[in-house]
């Protein structure tokens, strides 16, 4: 027998062979088809977990309330709301762990890292968070409240690092600046010999030459 979906379930096809000619069984099966057909056609309208990416904001808000997602906020964007709902049950299961904090922060900020104190020689039972998200004053305040709801009691956030990555073209050049002081000759003896040479950035070279001084006693 070919498979059937619940939306087009046919009880007549489910009858055993010896009952398929029984008019009473056939009539009862048709009646059941009608009764089952109405709610089965409504099933797609109440699906949630496999339709999270298609939920509206109002539906997300309602589902977050049903799941008691206390790190959820109605001011979030639709995509953030969907992300938080997807991970809600898993976060509740591992609440109080580094992984739970990381899952929620990624859902809200998009990119985040959590490092425990022993990974960066910090204060015991503290941790730091690194992200490249843009946080305004309100979001920064709410950020601390979110952390408090997910972390364990003994751990405390110590540092929030916000990274910024920029790309620039760097040009370099070099030049030669030389000053030459020839030896001074006094009574035929060389008393001074000095050559100074500085390398500076730039593209030009300058050389200065001063003739030797000849002094007589």
* Rg value, the chain, Cα: 39
Res. 181: pLDDT tops 50: yes
Task: For residue 102, give every residue at least 6 positions away whose Cβ sits within 8 Å of its Cβ, in sequence order, or none.
Answer: 112, 113, 114
Q: How far is it, in rounded angstroms, from Cα 33 to Cα 8? A: 9
Res. 176: pLDDT tops 60: yes
Q: Could you give the percent of the chain with pLDDT greater than 70? A: 73
User: Average pLDDT in the 25-35 region?
Assistant: 87
Number of neighbouring beta carbons within 10 Å of residue 186? 14
Report pLDDT for 78.
Answer: 92
Q: How far is it, in rounded angstroms, from Cα 11 to Cα 8? A: 10
User: Could you tell me which residue, 208 or 145, shows the higher pLDDT?
Assistant: 145
Q: How far is it, in rounded angstroms, from Cα 41 to Cα 120? A: 56
Q: What's the gap between Cα 153 and its chain centre?
A: 25
Spatial CA neighbour of 131 closest among 99, 154, 170, 105: 105
Mean pLDDT of the chain: 76
pLDDT band, very low/low/confident/very high, at 161 (cuts 50, 70, 90): confident
């Amino acid at each position: 027998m070919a498979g059937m979906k619940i939306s087009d379930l046919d009880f007549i096809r489910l009858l055993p062979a010896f009952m398929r000619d029984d008019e009473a069984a056939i009539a009862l099966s048709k009646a059941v088809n009608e009764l089952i057909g109405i709610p089965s056609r409504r099933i797609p309208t109440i699906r949630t977990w496999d339709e999270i990416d298609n939920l509206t904001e109002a539906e997300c808000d309602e589902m977050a309330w049903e799941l008691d997602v206390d790190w959820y906020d109605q001011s979030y964007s639709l995509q953030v709301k969907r992300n938080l709902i997807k991970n809600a049950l898993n976060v509740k299961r591992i609440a109080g762990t580094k992984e739970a904090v990381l899952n929620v922060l990624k859902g809200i900020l998009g990119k985040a890292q959590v490092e425990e104190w022993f990974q960066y020689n910090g204060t015991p039972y503290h941790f730091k968070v690194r992200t490249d998200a843009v946080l305004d004053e309100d979001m920064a305040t709410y950020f601390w409240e979110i952390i408090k709801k997910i972390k364990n009691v003994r751990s405390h956030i110590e540092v929030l690092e916000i990274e910024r990555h920029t790309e620039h073209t760097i040009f370099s050049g070099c030049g030669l600046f030389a000053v030459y002081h020839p030896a001074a000759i006094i009574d035929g003896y060389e008393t001074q010999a000095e050559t100074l040479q500085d390398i500076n950035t730039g593209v030009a070279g300058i050389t200065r030459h001063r003739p030797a001084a000849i002094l007589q006693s």
